Structure 1
Amino acid sequence: MADGSPEPVLFSPRAPDLAARVRAYNPKSDSALIEAAYAYAQHAHGEQRRHSGEPYFTHPLAVAGMVVNDQLDDATIVTALLHDTVEDTGSTLPEIRRLFGAEVADLVNGVTKLTNLQLSSKETKQAENFHKLILAMAEDLRVVLVKLNDRLHNMRTIKHMRPEKQVQKAQETMDIYAPLAGRMGMQSMREELEDLCFRILNPEGRSSVIRRFITLKNETGDVIDRTVEDIENLLTAAGIDALVTGREKKPFSIWRKLDEKDGEFNRLSDIFAFRIITKSEEDCYAALGLVHRRWNAVPGRFKDYISQPKSNGYRSIHTTVSGRKARRVEIQIRTEEMHEVNETGVAAHWSYRDGIRFENPFAADPANWLQSLREDLDTAENPSEVLEHVKLEMFSDQVFCFTPKGRVVKLPRGATPLDFAYAIHTNLGNSCVGAKVDGQRRPLFTRLRNGQSVEIISAPGQTPQASWADLVVTGRAKTAIRRFARLEERASQIRLGREFARAALDKVDKSLSDRAMATAAERLNFSDADDLLRALGAAEVTGNQIVQALYPELLSLEELGPNTTRKDGVIGLTQGQSAQAAPCCKPLPGERIIGITWRGRGVQVHAIDCPELVAFDESPDRWVDLRWGAGESLGNHTADLVTTMANDAGVLGRLCSLIGEHHANISDICIEDPKPDFYVVRLSVDVRDVTHLSRIMTAIEADSAVTEVVRERRSETRS
């Protein structure tokens, strides 16, 4: 039409059917809105086809049907119908907003943004996009509900795509969407997504599981029907009204258990899973008692997620017993309301019954988890840390531990007392010096188990150690430790930079001041004085650069470079010859020297004991007798030192301060071969002469933390 609205389209007979399905659980539903969205999407997609050759509109219609199965609200259903219109057709968001309202337009926009995120790209970009995914989820979780159903339908029909595209989408789904569904409490969707991916990523593994499972069924007969009948008879005799079901686990779930437990296939306890769905919580525990009296419980295979629910709202009792013919089976016991939350997760927040939102008392609001996650992610500086944090939060099974006062702390499997401390408060984690587990002192690397009581021992002066990052498993703890390490490193570099700056300024008889450093920072294009000092401490700039920025008129000698000597500084040159210090030995005033002539390059000055002179034994005509001039000791020369020192706090800072006290400047520093007890530091020190260097080396050797200091000379000639 001229006004931009779509041409009228006759409603498909299926449009009223979809609206009727919604009215069955929500009599107050706006059927006209749903039918209009149906017609709009059908017209917008027009003759578009899927890879299978089917009309493209079959996809959004299927997604809408899946959303209806979860009994969601009209806006989510309409969004499911329209979710690809802006991305794949000529439709626009303003048009969607005008025709279907702001709420639907915002939801469609959110789904479109998620679709455009290339989550399977390189890690850094993947991490950045994952952060955007979390932000979109936090704005309205219905966006991710539509996206997850969209991905599930695409995975169900993925066989029509190119093989390489199938692998890409399956890996992306396995890495991100499947665990996301699980973290949102949508367990059935997670299991189906994982198994669909398993079919593509490891077809041989899946086939082997299925073959072994068929063999097991032939050996055991109809285990499911018989076990269901046994449980029903048990409950009926006790007067407990409950629904009992049994099922086979999906191949990927079985494969994962085999991989985790490294056990025999027929020893797995959850190949067959049985559920007892009762009318009340009291009946859950009564049913548990009956099951344990009828069959032997397997030690260590009992979990009560009713009294200690998972953070995504999951509630159920899990127990494993030795059933028929001593075959282990897992039994899950829950109420009807718990079962609804366990199967649909976050979708339970938007489910309708009889025209009103149904408030399920067991449904945990994942928005709280998302908000907490956003706060943690905002503190991460490295994109790869973002992705690591998200995956750690979503992929982990949980253990429940207690504070001394009885507060429950939920942690991922494999968590340590350090994770426990950081889960309570960052300051407690930073100051942790030890822990008691169930009243006994335990190392900080102890792996915690369900039900343990943990007491954290802290001390005001304690700070996190860099090695802690390898002990913890939670994203919160890793982020806090790395953030503190970065801050400590920066503070150390600033302190070191301040000593370097003081020494460099002392050399030209100038004093260090905040105003001088602020001026130098501005002239060298640093944000502030601390940023400049950090760069100086990290050897990204030199002390001479700071002096030159503040007092350029005082560096006339240095303008020739640290390895260059003035012609009148050495005696023995002929008229017009220039001299340059050899980079291999870097001779100092006070040492015996010799010159080697180079065509077009003047004379290169070597120390008399320089090993490189051997190369010129057959060229005596190139040798020039030289000696230092009387005033050369006032110039600037560099010596390279190699120092081995104890790996203790403050040793390096003490060394740098000592050099500064001797009015020498450190022009370069490099830490090599760090070990737990010692490390090697290479220093380039600007000195006046060999006597000045000798005094500095003597002072360094006098430090009890220094085991050796030697002057280094290079073994290769540089022409």
Structure 2
Amino acid sequence: MSAIEVFAERLGDYLEPDQVNLVRRAYFYAEQAHDGQTRRSGEPYVTHPLAVAGILAGMHMDHQSLMAAMLHDVIEDTGIPKDALISQFGDTVAELVDGVSKLTQMTFETKAEAQAENFQKMALAMARDIRVILVKLADRLHNMRTLGALSGEKRRRIAKETLEIYAPIANRLGMHSLSTEFEDLGFKAMYPMRAQLIDRAVRSARGNRKELLSKILDTLQTCLEREGIPGRVIGREKHLFGIYQKMRGKRKSFNEIMDVYAFRIIVDKADTCYRALGAVHNLYKPFPGRFKDYIAIPKANGYQSLHTTLFGMHGVPIEIQIRTEEMEELANNGIAAHWVYKSKEDVINGNHARTRQWLKSVLELQQRAGNSLEFIENVKIDLFPDEVYIFTPKGRIMELPKGSTPVDFAYAVHTDVGNSCIACRVNRRLAPLSEPLQSGQTVEIITAPGARPNPAWLSFVITGKARSNIRHFLKHQRHSESIALGERLLEKVLVSFDTTLSDIPQPRVHQVLEDCGMDSLEELLADIGLGNRMAYVVARRLLASESSGEIEAAKVAEPDDAQIREMPLAIRGTEGLVVSFARCCNPIPGDPIVGYLSSGKGMVIHQENCKNLADNRHSDENILHLTWDKDVTGEFTVELRVELEHERGIIAQLATGITMADASIDKISVDERDGRTSVVQLVVRVRDRLHLSQLIKRIRVLSGVLRITRLKN
């Protein structure tokens, strides 16, 4: 019997006869298309598509996936166009083949930017039809199984790509057996010597442990029978790459890892899992804190099981996983388990729904990411999840990567919740937004209308969704703020020419935009606000006559530079990201100030007598005269130096005095000068100079305070 007939017979177990015939037809089409082509091993090329379809059939994939597997190299390797496949096999199969072909053209050896672009393509192909990636994973698995025919360098490159990209994707889709095989094959190709050593050690350890292993297995099986629990017990082998990672990552010796005996108990239904758990806990004492219930709270990829660790005979640790036959199938084949490809109208089961949710979030990341490198950074975080399970106040469970903070949780609930988050309660108590969350905690997010994401959040958030949304918001906010500042700077100059921006004829504005290579006035204003263009130069160009390039004499009399400088711009303190306050001199409302336009950063405000600007304050065209708006708001940092005599509790008195003056301490450091005196450096937040003078008075009257000075530069 030919190979395809043997395969067709196997498919008859779960596919309809007409579906089997379609798969057979796709095979003969591929055989004809690849006629004369061979693999590196010398076999006819068609053996590869047949093997890929065989892997998918083992997962009970639908007939369209098997047809796509048969045809997956036809477009790329034989020159047959996509249209020919549409006319022969229909749109769906042709789209799957096209999707797999595009993924096959990707190479991950190129520099980071190109790799990220390719990864983006893969994510988008997955989002359109998840079967594309399943066919690709099966294709990669067969290639990994037949790596021997390739050169050493190519073998290592493909293995590295498999370990970094394909194994995590298989794991994220819940396909544990596929992920494990990828890891072991990749490990053997990347580090043949290490794999050989560990393999030899595992075989030797297995021989020594055979007797004890079968004794524990018999005891567990007898225990289930005695309790009347229908189920089977199987020994669980640790895979080579898993052992290697534990030895490397957890700094454990080989013997420490192999001393743990692992078993799996497979039962009929979820209720029985808990009965089996009770039975084994009665048989051997459980390790405290080592029980995990992934049935009640499944992992993000749909994995369900009970995990427990027991003190076995002679104190030997025994790891046990308890699950149903369905959970076992799902753990091994993930989203491909019992595959029935659903149309949009059908209800999709929990695992499919979870995967679709993940793919939707991947698409969202792709739209919000500034570039492909940012996108791959965010998705890779989601591909290596070690989850914590957090409850909302209404009892809904959310899974997040380990190390997630309340800000990550807020964005997981909804983007708007994250953007307007100001505080949080963890288990009903106020907690910092940067505190890492633990499984089982209940988190409530406190929001406020008009609140904005804080740039400092980027230093502690973990999830891709939170990171990309914060960056997206800040980018958008920075852009709108730079437009507003640019408009104020330009209007300030135009007023000195006795005109305003609205008086400039539109054709003239368009001409200047064209000369500057800009598409819109907003773009030009943003460039001024970011300090990339001088408002004075732009104003002169806007007022220049198109013919002569001179200022229209009839319309405006040109002011001198001094006149422009005499009209200071008012600072409100709420300008946002494009206006910052220099840390060298910490200006506060009431201080005489100037602004320095720094290219790409916007305006940095300094005190007028700041040493950092002393040399070029009168000559530099980037320096603007500023004033404080009468309605200035916000808190501003000031650095103070306090000399103290040693007294019990003097630092506490100092902190209390600052709080009583309605100011807050950002930073405090104490330097002991000698046995009698100390110098305290303080960074405090005040509203203005009047508030600062009240604060200094309050500190000065404390007993033990010798001198207090405000530090500048």
TM-score by length of 2: 0.76
Q: Indicate yes or no: 2:406 matched with 1:428.
A: no
For residue 459 of structure 1, report the CA deviation from its aligned partner.
3.3
Report which stretch shifted further, 447-456 or 545-554.
545-554
Instruction: Determine the C-alpha separation between the residues in 1 that align with 2:347 and 2:519.
Output: 55
CA distance in 2, matches of 1:250, 1:76: 29
2:129 pairs with one of 135, 140, 165: 140
Q: How far off is 1:29 after superposition?
A: 4.2
Unpaired stretches in structure 2, ≥5 consecutive residues? 552-557, 566-570, 630-637, 639-687, 693-709
Q: Which has the larger radius of gyration?
A: 1
**C-alpha separation in 1, matches of 2:46 and 2:577:** 70
The answer to whether structure 1 residue 375 and structure 2 residue 364 are counterparts is yes
Q: Hey, what does 1:97 align to over in structure 2?
A: 86
User: Residues of 2 paired with 1:301 and 1:322: CA distance?
Assistant: 11
Letter in 2 for 1:152: L
In 2 relative to 1, CA 551–84 (structure 1 residues): closer, same or farther, beyond 3 Å?
same
Instruction: Say whether the 8 Å CA contact 1:500–1:665 is kept in structure 2.
Output: no
Structure 1 residue aligned with 2:702: none
Q: Is 1:311 aligned with 2:303?
A: no
Q: Distance in 2 between matches of 1:496 and 1:428?
A: 28
For residues 232-251 of structure 1, the aligned pairs below 5 Å read: 232-251=221-240
| 2:280 aligned counterpart, secondary structure | helix
CA distance in 2, matches of 1:535, 1:312: 46
Structure 2 CA distance for partners of 1:37 and 1:523, relative to 1, 3 Å: same
Amino acid at match of 1:174: L
How far is the alpha carbon of 1:212 from its aligned partner? 4.5
Aligned to 2:470: 481
1:40 corresponding residue in structure 2: 29
In structure 2, the residue corresponding to 1:436 is in which secondary structure? strand
Letter in 2 for 1:532: L
Is the 2:67–2:93 contact (alpha carbons within 8 Å) kept by the matching residues of 1?
A: yes
Distance 1:339 1:693 in 2: 68
- TM alignment of 1:153-168, pairs within 5 A: 153-168=142-157
Report the secondary structure of 2:12's partner residue: helix
CA shift at 1:491, angstroms?
2.8
C-alpha RMSD of matched pairs (Å): 4.2
Secondary structure (helix, strand or coil) at the match of 1:86 reads helix
Corresponding residue of 1:545: 537
- Percent identity between matched residues is 38
Aligned to 2:528: 536
Q: Which position in structure 1 is the counterpart of 2:675?
A: none
1:638–1:684 Cα change, 3 Å: farther
Q: Give the counterpart letter for 2:130 in structure 1.
A: L
Paired amino acid for 1:415: S
Quote the residue 2:281 is aligned against: 292
Deviation string, structure 1 residues 234-254 (Cα, Å, up to 9, x no partner): 101111111211121111112
Secondary structure at the aligned position of 2:290 is classed as strand
Distance 1:88 1:695 in 2: 65
TM-superposed deviation, 1:445: 2.4
Shift, 1:207, TM fit: 3.9
* Alignment correspondent of 1:256: 245
The residue matched to 1:406 in structure 2 has which SS? coil
Quick check: 1:335 aligned with 2:327?
no
Change (3 A) 1:512 1:101: closer
Pick closer, same or farther for the CA change 1:78–1:686 going to 2, 3 Å: same
Which 5+ residue runs of structure 1 have no aligned equivalent?
1-11, 560-631, 640-644, 710-719
Please, which moves more after superposition, 169-178 or 270-279?
Answer: 270-279
Q: Show CA shifts across 1:18-74 (max 9, x none).
A: 111111222444333232222222222222222222222221111111111112222
Distance 1:358 1:410, change over 3 A: closer
Q: Does 1:58 align with 2:50?
A: no
**1:399 matched to 2:391:** no
**Residues 481-560 of structure 1 aligned to structure 2 (within 5 Å):** 481-513=470-502, 519=510, 520-521=512-513, 524-552=516-544
Rounded Cα–Cα distance in structure 2 between residues aligned with 1:339 and 1:500: 67
CA distance in 1, matches of 2:208, 2:47: 43
Answer yes or no: is the 8 Å Cα contact 1:415–1:473 preserved in 2.
yes
Q: After superposition, give the CA deviation of every residue in 1:399-422 in whole Å (9 maximum; x if it has no partner).
A: 111012211111011111111111
For residue 118 of structure 1, report the CA deviation from its aligned partner: 2.4
Distance 2:298 2:417 in 1: 25
Aligned equivalents of 1:693, 1:394: Cα separation in 2: 47
Query: Given the superposition, is the C-alpha separation of residues 515 and 334 from structure 1 closer, same or farther in structure 2, using an over 3 Å criterion?
Result: farther
Is 1:30–1:74's contact at 8 Å kept on the other side of the alignment? Answer: yes
Amino acid at match of 1:448: L
Q: 2: distance between equivalents of 1:114 and 1:155? A: 16
Note closer, same or farther for the CA distance 1:528–1:674 as it changes in structure 2 (3 Å cut).
closer
User: Aligned-pair distance for 1:474?
Assistant: 0.6
* Conserved? CA contact 1:181–1:189, under 8 Å: yes
Name the aligned partner's letter for residue 266 of structure 2: I
Q: Structure 1 residues 666 and 673, CA, compared in 2 at 3 Å: closer, same or farther?
A: closer
CA contact (8 A) 1:667 1:685 kept: no
Distance in 1 between residues matched to 2:78 and 2:622, nearest whole Å: 76
SS of aligned partner of 2:436: coil
Counterpart for residue 61 of structure 2: 72
Alpha-carbon spacing, 1:304–1:269, altered in 2? closer, same or farther (3 Å): farther
Give secondary structure in 2 for the equivalent of 1:445. Answer: coil
Specify the alignment match of 2:4 in structure 1: 15
Query: Conserved in 2, the CA contact under 8 Å of 1:302 and 1:319?
Result: yes
Number of matched pairs:
607
SS in 2 for 1:385: helix
Which letter maps to 2:415? T
Q: Deviations over 1:378-418 (max 9, x none)?
A: 12222112111221122112111101221111101111111
Provide the rounded CA distance (Å) in 2 between the counterparts of 1:555 and 1:667.
Answer: 32
Per the alignment, residue 107 of structure 1 pairs with 96
CA distance in 1, matches of 2:48, 2:247: 35
- Would the aligned equivalents of 1:245 and 1:274 in 2 still touch at CA under 8 Å? yes
Cα offset, 1:148, TM superposition:
0.4
Q: Distance in 2 between matches of 1:209 and 1:408?
A: 40
Residue 333 of structure 1 aligns to a residue whose secondary structure is strand
Is the Cα–Cα contact under 8 Å of residues 416 and 448 in structure 1 kept in the other structure?
yes
What residue identity is the alignment partner of 2:265?
Answer: I
| Shift in alpha-carbon separation, 1:681–1:60, aligned structure 2, 3 A | farther
Provide the residue aligned with 2:313 in structure 1. 324
> 1:216-227 maps to which residues of 2 (within 5 A)?
216-217=205-206, 220-227=209-216
TM-score by length of 1: 0.75
Measured in 2, the distance between the counterparts of 1:489 and 1:390 equals 25
* Corresponding residue of 1:151: 140
Q: Which amino acid letter does the alignment assign opposite residue 177 of structure 1?
A: Y
Tell whether the 8 Å contact from 2:393 to 2:444 is kept in structure 1 after alignment: yes
Contact 2:453 2:474 in 1 (8 A): yes
**Contact 1:402 1:452 (C-alpha < 8 Å) held by counterparts:** yes
SS at 2:424's partner residue?
Answer: strand
Q: Who is 2:669 aligned against?
A: none
One-letter amino acid of the counterpart of residue 386, structure 2: D
1:390 and 1:127 map into 2 onto residues whose CA distance is 10
* Structure 2 CA distance for partners of 1:461 and 1:26, relative to 1, 3 Å: closer
1:442 CA displacement: 2.8
Deviation at 1:262?
A: 2.9
Higher mean C-alpha displacement, 390-399 vs 88-97: 88-97
Q: 1:205 to 1:460 in 2, by over 3 A?
A: farther
**Further displaced range: 57-66 or 197-206:** 197-206
- State the alpha-carbon separation in 2 of the partners of residues 269 and 500 from structure 1: 71
How far the C-alpha of 1:531 sits from its partner, in A, is 1.5
Residue equivalent to 1:605: none
Q: Conserved in 2, the CA contact under 8 Å of 1:506 and 1:663?
A: no
**SS at the partner of 1:301?**
coil
Tell me how far apart the structure 2 counterparts of residues 525 and 142 of structure 1 sit (CA, whole Å): 45
